[in-house]
Structure 1
Amino acid sequence: MPEPTGVIHDIGYQRYTGPRLGRRYVFGALYLHGVRTAFGLGRSAKAKIFPWLVVGIVLMVAAAVTAIRSQIGETVMTYAQFADSMSWLVIFFTAVAAPELVSRDLRSGVLPLYFSRPLSHADYPLAKLLALVTALFLLLGAPQLVMFLGAAFTSDGMGGVWDELLDLLPGLLYAGLWAAVFASIGLLIASLTGKRAFAAGGIVAVFLMTTPVVGVLSILPAQAANQLAGIASPPTLVQGVGVWTMRDLLITDPDGVVPDLGPFGPVYALAAVALVAACVTLLLARYRKVAAR
């Protein structure tokens, strides 16, 4: 019986000898790709329409506010008020961007490929969350910088520029609060389904369905219920934190309607922190379950 023979063919295969960039590089690449995805960069022209339409709207509003202020010499809208005014656009931007960041990967089944790399189950959702927070912060923060530059060029001396800067910084912090709350809620909801339409509808529904609850609580006979009503909805929760921390920057009209928080301002702040922490915890638990499949 003839002995089995074999032939080894040299096809030029060589082992990889370059640098192994590791977990930190993968996390950074996911984060950068997430920010680009939120704005439709690197994707089809159709994917760029809505995010850049929203960007165009907020920049036009900022430019209009700056132009009016330069003509009349008075502040039309503070930096903090700008974030409040754009809250509905932020909701819809989140509803479109969050599913693009996570629902597509769930539906296409590529997550096992991500987790086969030096990437923990927590790195993936945290990179996506940080990317969405960054995108929302840029959406609200960049127009504020436009307003600041316009005001700085029309200010009287460095003293006026310094005063504008002191007004800008709280506005940017407030924009960061909007971004953190909306991104954590939106990404958690989007991570529950691989269908982007369902995810977008769920995000919008959560924000819209909680608004009537605030209205009901605000007309109850109990004063404490009226003052705590804003906690029931994410937008009014964030606005409550803003009223408590920067009341003079958000309420510039002495004859306007002033939200009555009573002694519960710190409760609003704690509720906002607890909401973000709960959403992040559930998001990590969700991807721990996905990674275990």
Structure 2
Amino acid sequence: MSETGVIHDIGYQRYSGPRLGRVAMQRALFVHGLRAAFGLGRSAKAKIFPWLVAGIMLLVAVIAAAVRSITGEMFFSYVQYADQMSLLIVFFAAIVAPQLVSRDLRAGVLPLYFSRPLRAADYVIAKFAAMTAAIWLLLGVPQFIMFLGAAFTTRTGVSGVFDELWDLLPGWAYNLLWAVMFAGLSLLIASLTGKQAFAAGGIVAVFMMTVPVVGVLASLPSTTANSLSGLASPAFLIGGVGEWLTERESQLDVGVGEFGPIYGIEAACLVAACLLLLLARYRKVASL
């Protein structure tokens, strides 16, 4: 009895459409990362923590807007809003960063990503942009609610609305500083492990354990040490840059004084170092 082979036509066809290239890949990773940051397109469990943080921040903004419309007094300015919400930003970063990068490590999809024309730099830029946008929206949307509350209750007409807008824009710019700093640090920490719990714990530890260092340095008798103490903590570092740029009230007892440029330089170097280390990390993964 002779054996015969049969070729079955299962309808496979080669892709003949347009090749969109690396920019489209970056855009797709960015959109997917931004959606993942708020649990969109995922299970209800994935939505609980990011939306809980966002809900608390929105509630604070609504209360602040309501109190201002009734009494005319502000709890805090748009720029101060980010400083007041710093603890919630830490928890949000600890929730979101592992979702963006640790899951890819655990699932082993990075070799698949890098088998395409996607480069390590493209991956890092897309994830960093998604994380930055998520944190900026977390702060910017509540501030916009505060703005609407003030704009609709102003007693000076159109000029009052524009005055309020000019107060809002520096707040949005300050948000960007928070976003890039927290995005760079949290993604770098999360990229070191595929276990989301370890990544989240590491992010919280880095941000929270540096705060007592600031307290110790601020308690020294040296005015210089007091002014430079904020350099030891990312949150105080951002606050110092904000104080230097806007000349507002300091979180430190004696303020940053003449050391404002040092705060700015350290902030820029820290973000750049995080991006370079992330790039080195994923170039190593891509070469495996």
Structure 2 partner of 1:174: 174
Change (3 A) 1:134 1:59: same
User: Does residue 270 in structure 1 map to residue 271 in structure 2?
Assistant: no
Structure 1: state its 5+ residue gaps.
Answer: none
Alpha-carbon offset, residue 8 of structure 1:
5.8
Structure 1: distance between partners of 2:198 and 2:10: 49
Alpha-carbon offset, residue 12 of structure 1:
3.7
Structure 1 partner of 2:213: 213
Structure 1 partner of 2:107: 108
Structure 2 partner of 1:58: 57
Structure 1: distance between partners of 2:151 and 2:255: 34
TM-score using structure 2 length: 0.95
Alpha-carbon offset, residue 121 of structure 1:
1.1
Provide runs of 4+ in structure 1 moved above 6 Å: none
Structure 2 partner of 1:141: 140
Residue deviations 1:65-88 (CA, integer Å, cap 9, x gap): 000001111222210111111100
Change (3 A) 1:49 1:101: same
User: Does residue 261 in structure 1 map to residue 260 in structure 2?
Assistant: no
User: Does residue 237 in structure 1 map to residue 237 in structure 2?
Assistant: yes
Deviates more, 1:216-225 or 1:184-193: 216-225
Structure 1 partner of 2:200: 200
Structure 2 partner of 1:247: 247
Alpha-carbon offset, residue 6 of structure 1:
7.5
Structure 1: distance between partners of 2:33 and 2:164: 32
Structure 2: distance between partners of 1:12 and 1:60: 54
Residues 115-134 of structure 1 mapped to structure 2, 5 A cutoff: 115-134=114-133
Tell me if the contact between 2:150 and 2:164 (Cα under 8 Å) persists in the aligned partners. Answer: yes
Structure 2: distance between partners of 1:193 and 1:257: 35
Alpha-carbon offset, residue 11 of structure 1:
4.4
Alpha-carbon offset, residue 208 of structure 1:
1.0
Structure 1 partner of 2:185: 185
Structure 2: state its 5+ residue gaps.
Answer: none
Q: What amino acid sits opposite 1:284 in the alignment?
A: L
Q: What amino acid sits opposite 1:26 in the alignment?
A: M
Tell me if the contact between 2:226 and 2:254 (Cα under 8 Å) persists in the aligned partners. Answer: no
Change (3 A) 1:149 1:219: same
Structure 2: distance between partners of 1:10 and 1:218: 75
* Matched residue count: 286
Alpha-carbon offset, residue 7 of structure 1:
6.8
Tell me if the contact between 2:54 and 2:138 (Cα under 8 Å) persists in the aligned partners. Answer: yes
Structure 2: distance between partners of 1:116 and 1:185: 27
Structure 2 partner of 1:40: 39
Structure 1: distance between partners of 2:147 and 2:84: 17
TM-score using structure 1 length: 0.93
* Identity across matched positions, percent: 64
Structure 2: distance between partners of 1:11 and 1:95: 46
- Partner of 2:225: helix, strand, or coil? helix
Structure 1 partner of 2:149: 150
Alpha-carbon offset, residue 15 of structure 1:
2.1
Q: What amino acid sits opposite 1:230 in the alignment?
A: G
Structure 1: distance between partners of 2:82 and 2:254: 17
Alpha-carbon offset, residue 199 of structure 1:
0.3
Residue deviations 1:227-251 (CA, integer Å, cap 9, x gap): 1000000000001111111134x56
Change (3 A) 1:78 1:110: same
Tell me if the contact between 2:31 and 2:130 (Cα under 8 Å) persists in the aligned partners. Answer: yes
Structure 2: distance between partners of 1:7 and 1:88: 65
Alpha-carbon offset, residue 259 of structure 1:
4.2
Structure 1: distance between partners of 2:252 and 2:191: 38
- Partner of 2:258: helix, strand, or coil? coil
Structure 1: distance between partners of 2:6 and 2:46: 52
